[in-house]
Amino acid sequence: MAEFDIQKYMTSGVERVIKDAMKATLKDPRESVFLMRFAKASRKASDRRAAHGKEGLHVPPFLIASITSRCNLHCAGCYSRQNNATEDCEAHDQLTAEEWGRIFREADDLGFSFILLAGGEPMIRRDVIEKAGEFPDIMFPIFTNGVYINKRYFELLDKCRNLIPVMSIEGGRESTDARRGEGIYDKVIANMDAFKERRLLYGCSVTVTTENIRDVVSEEFISSLSSRGCKAVIYVEYVPVTEESKELAIDDDDREFFADELARLRREHPEMVFISFPGDEKSSGGCIAAGRGFFHINSHGGAEPCPFSPFSDTNVRDTSLRDAIGSGLFRTLVDGGLLNDDHRGGCVLFEKRELVEALIRDKE
């Protein structure tokens, strides 16, 4: 069997996302101009990643950056709170805006195309988001609950088109408010209408569970998003954080149904981009965390395989982003084949977290 080429797979995935996004914004000249410029920058970034690859350094196209540990909501089943990575108040020793700026600059030089800003609630850290706006060759999807979006943010997003809000929604009002809190659905819908009125690009993220899987791929739900100007939907499979919540995690039959529906949506709604995470890992040669396709930097600077596997042996405060990519933990996970192991749920590293913890202990 031919060896799987992760660089080729991820590069083609980036190109497809950009191509689909350009199709989705053909009627909006400002967004089309931005995406054409970004497509050019993305090709150059891909060339830089390929050049690094020839030197033995695999640079992934995606980085997930949790820029704060603070969140204003208490969403049911939140993996981040369960991992003690999210709190009501800002924890001490968070990375400063200047430190994040250095990371963004190194990411730009290395050839990263996308940096996903997460938290906690990332829009609490306006200073970091303003810093991200200074790097137009990188696209920054901002995974937000939408509560902090206001007039000042609309002005910033209009000025810096590389900042793309991705608001969380769980389907309709009942399911969204049940998980995120009363009134959140109405706030997100109001934001959507405001984005459409201002002709600003935005997307939505959906946590897929056994309770909402059919609703969130329904024509009624997708058409409602499309009519409000939503250009991207990012589906994230629910990862159980307790034994009691395992019934919310979709199984292989659900995943097959979802894959078929996703293919249908891509055919029938070319005005939107649909992304599934982690998606079918078999098509990507296994889990793409730990630097194969992306990795995660937490709010304190720890370089982790992914947000669902909050273990680290490297901190970007103490080393460069380039060195963090090749951390001992990442190399062990990739070279040892753990990312390709069979598993029941959507996240192999979360399911095998005891093995990952053991690897960290062995290195101490």
38 falls within a domain: yes
**Mean pLDDT of the chain, nearest integer:** 87
Q: What is the CATH number of the domain that holds 65?
A: 3.20.20.70
355 falls within a domain: yes
185 falls within a domain: yes
Per-residue pLDDT tens digits for 95-131 = 999 999 999 999 999 999 999 999 999 999 999 999 9
Tell me: pLDDT of 167 over 80. yes
Task: Provide mean pLDDT across the span 350-360.
Answer: 72
Say if residues 300 and 314 touch (Cβ distance below 8 Å). Answer: no
Tell me: pLDDT of 244 over 80. no
Task: Provide mean pLDDT across the span 179-185.
Answer: 96
Beta pairing partners, 277:
236
Domain span at residue 15 reads: 6-363
1 falls within a domain: no
pLDDT score recorded for residue 276: 86
Total domains present in the chain? 1
293 falls within a domain: yes
Per-residue pLDDT tens digits for 45-58 = 999 999 999 998 98
Tell me: pLDDT of 1 over 50. no
Written in H, E and C, the secondary structure of the chain is CCCCCHHHHHHHHHHHHHHHHHHHCCCCHHHHHHHHHHHHHHHHHHHHHHHHHHCCCCCCCEEEEECCCECCCCCCCCHHHHCCCCECCCCCCCCCHHHHHHHHHHHHHHCCCEEEEECCCHHHCHHHHHHHCCCCCCEEEEEECCCCCCHHHHHHHHHCCCEEEEEECCCCHHHHHHHHCCCHHHHHHHHHHHHHHHCCCCEEEEEECCCCCCHHHCHHHHHHHHHCCCCEEEEEECCCCCHHHHHHCCCHHHHHHHHHHHHHHHHHCCCCEEEEECCCHHHHCCCCCCCCCCCEECCCCEEECECCECCCCCECCCCCHHHHHCCHHHHHHHHCCHHHCCCCCCCHHHHCHHHHHHHHHHHC
Q: Range with the lowest mean pLDDT among 70-84, 109-123, 154-168, 195-209?
A: 70-84
Q: Range with the lowest mean pLDDT among 43-52, 182-191, 274-283?
A: 274-283
Per-residue pLDDT tens digits for 256-273 = 999 999 999 989 998 888
pLDDT score recorded for residue 21: 81
316 falls within a domain: yes
206 falls within a domain: yes
pLDDT score recorded for residue 363: 59
Ramachandran category for residue 17: left, alpha or beta (phi over 0 → left; psi -120 to 50 → alpha) = alpha
Tell me: pLDDT of 237 over 70. yes
